[in-house]
Amino acid sequence: MHCVRAMTTGSIGTTPGEIGARADLEDGEDLGPLAEFGNVAFPTRRGRRNLWIVAAIGGRDVAALGAGFSAGDLTTMVQSVATESTIVYEFTSSLGAMRTKVAFPAEECATIRCTSSLLPARDVVVSWWPRDLYPIDAPEGTVHTVQRGLRGGIVFASAQAEQPSRSSTCKISPR
């Protein structure tokens, strides 16, 4: 997982990937909530090019996790199957078939675990993978740790809620 910084006044700019992700999210179809933990919710959205898991604090979208990668538009509807401990999403694009397993390992904590797999439609060389975690409208907050190197896949951050007396912590671990 890769993490990109939130755009702030005076920032040096943004990436084409972030612009594309924001556009995909804005046009996305709401597929309903995955889970809620206090004032932290995880709705899902089907974009034109990706499935997104959004972290929302107090009804405000703060981050989005791309739950797969497509080289073009999604070519099938997103199918989901819920088991006792996970939700499995399946969808396809010109790149191939994607399967994403989502779990919430701690019963009363806003921790999400996301594992995505790809069955390519043909032989492909994957020389890079786009960033998959994007800030949306994040309030002031602190990133406590992020991915370092290729084997890391964790972001641990906290943000102040609208009410100064409350704060929320969001841990996203896509492995």
- 85-95 pLDDT, tens per residue? 889 999 998 88
User: Has residue 144 been placed in a domain?
Assistant: no
Over residues 44-72, the mean pLDDT reads 86
- Residue numbers of the domain that contains 56: 16-139
| Chain length of the chain | 175
Which pLDDT belongs to residue 101? 92
Q: How many CA atoms lie within 13 A of 123 on its CB side?
A: 0
Q: How are beta strands 167-173 and 111-120 bridged, if at all?
A: parallel
**How much is the pTM?**
0.75
Q: Give the whole-angstrom CA distance, residue 104 versus residue 70.
A: 25
- 119-152 pLDDT, tens per residue? 999 998 877 777 777 777 766 667 776 665 554 4
Which pLDDT belongs to residue 130? 72
User: Has residue 167 been placed in a domain?
Assistant: no
Q: Predicted confidence band at 5 (pLDDT cuts at 50, 70, 90)?
A: very low
Domains identified in the chain, total number = 1
